[in-house]
Structure 1
Amino acid sequence: MSKAAKQPSNTMATEIKADASTNIPDCPAKICYNPIRLPFDLGAQSVLIKGAEVIRVSRLTKEAREGKFMKYLYEDTRTLYEVFRRGVRESNNGPCLGWRDGPNRPYQWLHYNEALLRARNFGAGLVVLGLEPGPKTYVGIYSQNCPEWILTEQGLYCQSMVIVPLYDTLGPEACNFILSTTALTTVICQDDRKMAQLLQSPPKSLRLFIAIHEPDRDVRIRAQKLGITIKRFDEIEALGASSKIKERPPKPEELSCVNFTSGTTGMPKGVMLTHENVVAAVSATLLQLAEHKPHKSDVMLSFLPLAHMLERCCEVAVYIAGGAVGFYGGDIKNLADDYKALRPTITPSVPRLLNRIYDKVTGEVNNSYIKKFLFKMALASKRKELERGITRRNSMWDKLVFKKVQDGMGGRLRLLVVGSAPLAGNVLTFIRCALGCVVVEGYGQTESVAPATLTVQGEYRPEHVGPPLASNAIKLVDVPDMDYFSSKNQGEVCIKGASVFQGYFKDPEKTKQAKDSQGWLHTGDIGEWLPTGTLKIIDRKKHIFKLSQGEYIAPEKIENIYVRSQYVAQVFVHGESLKSSVVAVIVPDVDYLKAWARANGIPGTLSVLCADPDVNTLILDDINNLGKEAGLKSFEQVKEIYLHPDPFSVQNGLLTPTLKSKRPQLRKYFMPQLDDLYDKLH
């Protein structure tokens, strides 16, 4: 939290510790020791609509069967403007936005009335500066998660303006593209570094930076030379506080945000989402979660990027109930410390973080026979309870085996939401057992706000993403080239409903490619309906290539199999139309590989081990065995691999912010090694 943001006289930030002695109480909903109340039969989780097309909808609303989808849960809460005001009422002015000024410091809080007042002032201040109220005014924000992010967003909604988030991994070229495309005049910036990046080649439209932190003199001078003014965040609040600007509340059908997707190729696409789109998706999620949904005594840790809709939806779900959101310190390396300081009851997460927890725990227990034996016993016992619908963390096994994992995430979690990428079944089951809380996994895209399906509380079977939410319907469309047919319950996942986006900003051609004339969003993902009425994502349509013998290859399907190897941390499968076989780049799992090397008397660093022919053979044999067990055809199996010691990451430009592989960049980065692999095959 910036010093500037705490200076206005209307700000009275309070400092509290997140424990049972404060007004953020301990776990609000007792961990359920009796079986969880299921919203419907786990054997029939969606309704099949028969007709010209096979469509499935939620069991929770009768209207969905008639093609009418849920738009809101509360009559008086149909926009994100109204969401926050409902939070004010429900919270009774409880804690709203939390931050801390550094490691080993307690969380401080803005309460709801104060946060709403500051948001109003900020929105009014923008109008004083000359911005026109209404949904044709776009304002950018370039910042990590922090209270000012939400104050900005809500301030814009007070005047029906539209928020346009920017984020680090877009890069200067893509940021400039977004600024130019949306003709942004104003951008809220967190710090000097972010302002300096936007000043590299700013468009003529850009006129104002609003700095969350006090800007450096050099940045001010550089901006001034380019005709760009810099004002502090608290200055805008003060302008609004001294004005008599009235609010201009948005309508449900008006735009709330333009979210530019990072994409894996080309310039990002601006996904246009209305207030109704976002509220519909969140409302349907709350309906399905029933008594497990957020409420006013909940505390959520915010660390996934607010520029992406998964995090935004989770926060909206908390605000609508009057709960509290505490922001992480800004460094993902210190996330464990943030968890322990905040002790959240709710958290969103992504597979990468959960995989790390799983790998760390299994790595530790594998070093001791006794620990390994106890771990297996604990997992088996907790799994049996899961199958009976019991979720708890007070068993003997929780105290003996899982307490360290639970304490590492604060010790109070009752709800964890997983999204953005597939999570391996064994990891999901482990997380459900180890944390002793409700864990739900969702599927969707920015174009569907975020969640289009969600597993239900009490579901213990992994490797599916649940039934459709009440805000949308889902159908599967034939993909003949890949041998997927809806008659066999397989095909491209298509989504239709209240949460589906309006289109891509100023890009009608790409909009037509993604959204057909009947309003169906074509996701490019390949799904399969399971007998339970739940959806399983089994493939990806877009990333396919044809080998020289005419066979189609879906690399992500192969990668999802190979990454199950204990020796594999990351994998990139590559093929070419002039080649008859597939090769791969693999980043080995450091702990498992070094353990194998020690056991076999092979010395050396990870880089040395990656160059060892015996290590190459070990991993190639292991992944091919996994491929064989999973039913991969011979032409789908990789014939040569290159072992790379450094992980693919967002920082080195090989992953998107949602941790998906940037395939064109990976191909370009590893082209010399890929060429060498093919040379070896001749």
Structure 2
Amino acid sequence: MPISSKSNSMVAPGCRTTCCCVLMTGLVGLLLAPNLLAFWQWGKAIYQLGLRQLIFHFRRVRKLRSCSICTRVILPTELYNLCGCCDFLCCQHCALKGEASHEHVLHDEVEPLVVRTSPLAAANTAAQALAISFHLYASRRCVGWRAGESYIWHSYEEIGNMSANFADSLQRLLRKVSVTKGIPVIGLLSAVSIPWFIVDFACSLAAIPLVTMHRATDDAALAQILDKTGLRLLIASKHLLPVIQRASSRASASQLQLVILIEDSSEPYCLQQSSRPLVEEETDSRPPSWQQNGFLETLQEGNDALRVPSWRDPKRLAKLLPSSGSTGAPKLAVVTEEALFKDSYGRTPESSVDIVTYAYEAIRQSHDVLMQGGRIGVFSGSLDRMLEDVRALRPTVFAAAPTFWTGLYNDFENDVAEEGGAGVVVASIFQPNQWTLEDGVDKATTHRTHALGVQRFITRVFGKLVVDGYGCTETGRIASNGAVAENVEIRLLDLPELGYLTSDSPPRGEILARTSYMAGYFSLERFTDQGTFRQMESDSEDWIVLNSVMYFRTGDVGELVAPGNVRVIDRCKHHFKLAQGIYVAPEPIERVLLQSPLISQIFIWGCGVMQATGAVAVPSMKLLQKLGLANMSLAAAVESANDEASALVLQSLADIGRRCSLRAWEIPQRIVLEPVAFSENAGLLTASGKLSRIALIRRYGKLLSDQRSDCTGLEITSALPQTPGLCAGLHRILKHISPKQNFDPRDSIISLGLDSMGVARLSAQVWQKFGHEVPARVLFTLETLADLERLILAGPRAARAIVGKCSAVVNFEEEAAARCEDLARCIKGQASAQGTPQSGHVVLLTGSTGFLGSFVAHALAHAGFKVLCLVRATCQEEATERLRSCLRFYQLSEEVPETISALPTTGVENPCLGLSEHVMPGIISTIVHCAATVSGVLPYSALCTSNVTGTKQAILLALQTGARLVHVSTLGFVDDGHPEVGRVSTAHLHQRSGYAQSKWMAEQLVWRATESFGLRAVVLRPGTVSGARSGASNTTDAVSLLLLGLVKLGSTCLDDRSPLPAGFNLVPVDYVADAVVVVARARRSLPPGPIHLCAQEAISTRTLCQWLSEDGHELKDLSPEEFCKRVQQVDETHPLYALRSSLGTSRSASADLPVLEARNERALKLRTPRAMTKDLLVKSIKFLRSAHDSQCQFRPQSITDEKGVANPK
């Protein structure tokens, strides 16, 4: 409808150039233009807009338009005529000359000027962004309506002024309305029109909470909204006065004081001619309890001097959106200021876009369109005239609900049946010289996944331009063409009753959605006096809390096609149970059965007393033709031949059901023919055109179930399960790879007890099941199994947010200072109990069941020491058996020597290294601390407890007993060429493994205790500990797995870009064990600082491969690409399986061999060879192959006491 206001039109601002610049650029235009008129148009455009603006426009415009007569390019802001049925275009000059003779109607158009949208980036609120849009695109067309054959448009400036006027009037009216609590909420109940958008924009500008209701909202739903919100002011279409009056009477406590009426009668096309009529009903003769005012009068009472604040509370209530009400009373979803701003203006484009959208229903994305400088064409009021609207408007975006597309497809199918083939009908759709939706629409948007036939039809008509949108009122957009939106996190919930599990392939379950902006449903209790909305609560069955995270239950069943890509396959919210205990989904069945040409609408239902489904169907005219009753009305025909008609419809439904592979109980066995179509006025359709199932069940449930009782108890049976633990898919994976059998979402990843091979298997199986790559380094940054579950099911952006939240960067300097202070407090707390220095031959050894620890225990015992070995166990017998198994496995001893005693411990991270009081030894001369959790994949945070806290407990016990501490560290954090000093810079520490970082931190505690508290300590830093002279080797060490893996693979890669390390600094385990013995025996002082235990020269990977080849192992030299490909193909039993992530890509350049300084080692005067030889390598490979082939049955499973180097240099 045309609307007039007090605002004056504003000339679009443009740059004014100098006369010289105009002439120069005009000459350029003359070269490009075919005549003097074109030269004049170019010069005029340059003068009005500026040369820079014009250049920017032509660089950004997506499509140049030219006159079909004179071929001149249409310049920005220029008026031209465009045909609504074909691509004919005529400039204004040719039209005035009378050369624009054309067979079709021509519509006036204006070429929009592309402008920079950078001013929008400065907006902090939705109102501020809206005001900037009105100014930025002032002269552009904004909202239009169709009067006659063409659309008439209001500019952005006009809409902005009218919105400001109306906002000012609303603020004045609301001051007169008494409100008991908070800021008043107003309602909007109207058909889509120019006033609808003005009200919407005005409320955004003035920060007035708005309830936007569909025009088909009935009196029952409106009454509930009046009670829930306490509405004082309602803006409504005049023809809906009867609905408002009845709703006010039905409401338990209506507080409505003022109704502003929109005059529908001034519409160019009467809304009552719509195919979904808005029937005038008799108004109650009693006078209304509220005051009435006209929309135009209210608009004219305001002024446009509205002040828009630069900041608003993000939690402030902006809008309330009623749900569809398909399962009962509509609920009011809350949209906060933050959600409105981020969703509409959070993605500012670099330049404006010529978006033209068609609003046949009130659109939620109107703010999005205005942000990009687009325009909105309003529906003329009838679906019968929609094609005329589209031809006059030529929209670039056409969005429609599922009911629209399904109805269009059904009409198409019926036409195919009549014409005798799809080719004839499709050819008629695309007739020559006829404009169709495909010609102008850049994007066709649907709103839910359709049946396969509907999808194919839409794709064939629109080509590659179809966007299948998926979302809901409570969360907004969820996915587009299956791809989860950036600000959305989803997960799948197992539905065991329906047979949908995340352990399926692909994973399936109910889709749960979560966004950072969703605020739940409205209630006055959560609405504060400041207009803000308190934190969302899960007080409705539509919301569920899983592991402290709240999700919305969409009621849709989806399958995870790929990471961040979900496909809707079913519906679980409307399921019902039959007598056999089988759950049935009605919506997919309804979509299939609507293919029958004999029906136009259908409703499927069942209950616990029915063996198969029943149906309520609205017959089509083709049923009458088949009955030979084409001259009769539908109601009369159904009444006179009900049995015959029912039989024909049931047979048609059965044929279609069998053809589409429906199960026997899904095909209706009972039917009720309803001659009156389901409609909104009858309460059988929701505002969005969906079936109102509650109302349908109450009306037809007794007829379908053949029960004589009423249908009060025949409600929708929900198949939704109670709040579960982990999803079935992840639970099955964990049971397969972890020694644990029970898992809680709050469990840490560390609690799974996985070694490197187990971690690799977990990553691989997550990839195979969910298609989500979770590298080991990422896996252990997650705090709990719940985080892992969210990560593998969420969309890409949500996954990045989860990883970012858990992957905190450690400041090692600050961390070291804090831990040293904690150590100092503990030492001062036990100062009175500190012991005097001890001498003797009693050694307390930690980590004795690890690879290095076993050899150290054996070497100390043979050197005459009494060795007390700490073993994680519950009793003395278990500890002794574990120690015996380790010594036997590494070929050291069949039995535990008499000089070795096994002491059970609960863990070295506990006080007194986990020793109980009754087994605490007396005099201890030396504590050798070898215990550490060794892993190349665990992060620093996961290793602190065992590696850093364990060292702290060893220091405290050494000071308490007066023993000397031999701390076994690592060279993993030492830079090449670094001298043997205690302080190592943290400059490159973030590039090291979590194991190396934890060992660096543990060393800081040792040096602090040595310098400040007199701890007698020696720090040994071994290189990569390799096999013994006997050949016994560490079967879980990365280097051992790599070398054995190359032998098993029969391949290597010696290229400069090889993913293999350049080499290793290998030292035999015998050499390191003998060094510990010498240090424990030493009576004289040793050199200050740490002692590096490493070979004089590192051994290159090329040399190791050459030795293996000389021993008869065939190693084929592959290219980096081929080698990486072969490594990625190995199975779980292969030694390289645990190393696939580090061998997946080639290097950009060759790496140098590590060079380390080892001078303090000379003071030990060791005679044991410290270099790896070919003979040692051959023996080691033989041992590793034998152990691997026997599945390492006797190897200890605990990784807590294991000693090795995870990231060898």
Same fold (TM over 0.5): yes
**1:350-378 alpha-carbon deviations (Å, 9 max, x no partner):** 23222333344444444345x64445xx6
Structure 2 Cα separation of the partners of residues 643 and 341 of structure 1: 40
Letter in structure 2 aligned against 1:207: Q
The answer to whether the 8 A contact 2:357-2:376 is kept is yes
Most deviating of 557-566 and 476-485: 557-566
Q: Helix, strand or coil for the counterpart of 1:647?
A: coil
Q: CA RMSD in A?
A: 4.2
Change (3 A) 1:100 1:154: same
Q: How far did 1:272 drift?
A: 0.5
**1:181-207 alpha-carbon deviations (Å, 9 max, x no partner):** 21122111221x223432333655222
Aligned residue for 2:4? 6
Structure 2 Cα separation of the partners of residues 573 and 404 of structure 1: 42
Most deviating of 349-358 and 234-243: 234-243
Letter in structure 2 aligned against 1:415: K
Letter in structure 2 aligned against 1:477: L
Tell me whether 1:554 sits opposite 2:585 in the alignment: yes
Aligned residue for 2:155? 111
Structure 2 Cα separation of the partners of residues 519 and 77 of structure 1: 30
**1:577-629 alpha-carbon deviations (Å, 9 max, x no partner):** 233332212234434x467667xx99866557653655544443443344345
Q: Helix, strand or coil for the counterpart of 1:530?
A: strand
Q: Summarize the alignment of residues 516-527 of structure 1 with structure 2, pairs less than 5 Å apart.
A: 516=545, 517-527=548-558
Q: Summarize the alignment of residues 178-577 of structure 1 with structure 2, pairs less than 5 Å apart.
A: 178-191=225-238, 193-200=239-246, 201=248, 204-213=254-263, 225-241=287-303, 250-282=312-344, 296-304=353-361, 306=362, 311-313=363-365, 315-369=366-420, 372-375=422-425, 401-403=429-431, 407=435, 409=437, 412-419=440-447, 421-436=448-463, 438-449=465-476, 451-455=477-481, 466-488=482-504, 489-506=507-524, 510-511=539-540, 513-516=542-545, 517-530=548-561, 534-577=565-608
Q: How far did 1:328 drift?
A: 1.0
Change (3 A) 1:130 1:570: closer
Structure 2 Cα separation of the partners of residues 213 and 503 of structure 1: 32
Aligned residue for 1:393? none
Structure 2 Cα separation of the partners of residues 267 and 184 of structure 1: 17
Letter in structure 2 aligned against 1:554: A
Unaligned 5+ residue runs, structure 1? Answer: 30-71, 379-396, 456-465
Structure 2 Cα separation of the partners of residues 282 and 242 of structure 1: 24
Letter in structure 2 aligned against 1:655: L
The answer to whether the 8 A contact 1:642-1:677 is kept is no
* CA radius of gyration, larger in: 2
Aligned residue for 1:84? 130
Q: Helix, strand or coil for the counterpart of 2:468?
A: strand
The answer to whether the 8 A contact 2:318-2:337 is kept is yes
Change (3 A) 1:257 1:146: same
Structure 1 Cα separation of the partners of residues 635 and 112 of structure 2: 46
Most deviating of 115-124 and 606-615: 606-615
Q: How far did 1:248 drift?
A: 7.3
Structure 1 Cα separation of the partners of residues 659 and 708 of structure 2: 25
Structure 2 Cα separation of the partners of residues 331 and 602 of structure 1: 27
Aligned residue for 2:1103? none
Letter in structure 2 aligned against 1:94: R
Q: How far did 1:276 drift?
A: 3.0
Change (3 A) 1:674 1:316: same
Structure 1 Cα separation of the partners of residues 385 and 567 of structure 2: 34
Letter in structure 2 aligned against 1:472: V
Aligned residue for 1:150? 197
Most deviating of 273-282 and 182-191: 273-282
Structure 1 Cα separation of the partners of residues 213 and 156 of structure 2: 26
Change (3 A) 1:256 1:523: same
Aligned residue for 2:42? none
Change (3 A) 1:637 1:512: closer
Q: Helix, strand or coil for the counterpart of 2:687?
A: coil
Q: Helix, strand or coil for the counterpart of 1:638?
A: coil
Aligned residue for 1:129? 173
Change (3 A) 1:406 1:206: farther
Q: How far did 1:80 drift?
A: 3.2
Q: Summarize the alignment of residues 514-663 of structure 1 with structure 2, pairs less than 5 Å apart.
A: 514-516=543-545, 517-530=548-561, 534-591=565-622, 593=623, 606=634, 611=641, 613=643, 615-663=645-693
Q: How far did 1:257 drift?
A: 0.3
Letter in structure 1 aligned against 2:470: Y
Q: Helix, strand or coil for the counterpart of 2:231?
A: coil
Change (3 A) 1:114 1:628: same
Letter in structure 1 aligned against 2:163: A
Q: Helix, strand or coil for the counterpart of 1:561?
A: helix
Letter in structure 2 aligned against 1:471: N
Unaligned 5+ residue runs, structure 2? Answer: 11-78, 84-88, 91-106, 267-280, 526-536, 710-1209
**1:24-73 alpha-carbon deviations (Å, 9 max, x no partner):** 458999xxxxxxxxxxxxxxxxxxxxxxxxxxxxxxxxxxxxxxxxxx99
Change (3 A) 1:8 1:85: closer
Letter in structure 2 aligned against 1:232: G
Q: What is the identity percentage for the equivalent residue pairs of Structure 1 and Structure 2?
A: 24
Structure 2 Cα separation of the partners of residues 657 and 361 of structure 1: 25
TM-score (norm 1): 0.74
TM-score (norm 2): 0.44
Q: How far did 1:300 drift?
A: 1.3
Change (3 A) 1:630 1:506: farther
Aligned residue for 1:68? none
Letter in structure 2 aligned against 1:550: G
Q: How far did 1:111 drift?
A: 0.5
The answer to whether the 8 A contact 1:79-1:251 is kept is no
Letter in structure 1 aligned against 2:390: Y
Change (3 A) 1:11 1:126: farther
Structure 2 Cα separation of the partners of residues 374 and 242 of structure 1: 56
Letter in structure 2 aligned against 1:300: T
Q: How far did 1:163 drift?
A: 0.8
Q: How far did 1:74 drift?
A: 6.8
The answer to whether the 8 A contact 1:138-1:184 is kept is yes
Letter in structure 2 aligned against 1:170: T
Letter in structure 1 aligned against 2:258: L
Structure 1 Cα separation of the partners of residues 672 and 288 of structure 2: 47
The answer to whether the 8 A contact 1:141-1:166 is kept is yes
Q: How far did 1:112 drift?
A: 0.5
Change (3 A) 1:504 1:670: same
Structure 2 Cα separation of the partners of residues 430 and 156 of structure 1: 40
The answer to whether the 8 A contact 2:438-2:462 is kept is no
Structure 2 Cα separation of the partners of residues 646 and 226 of structure 1: 33
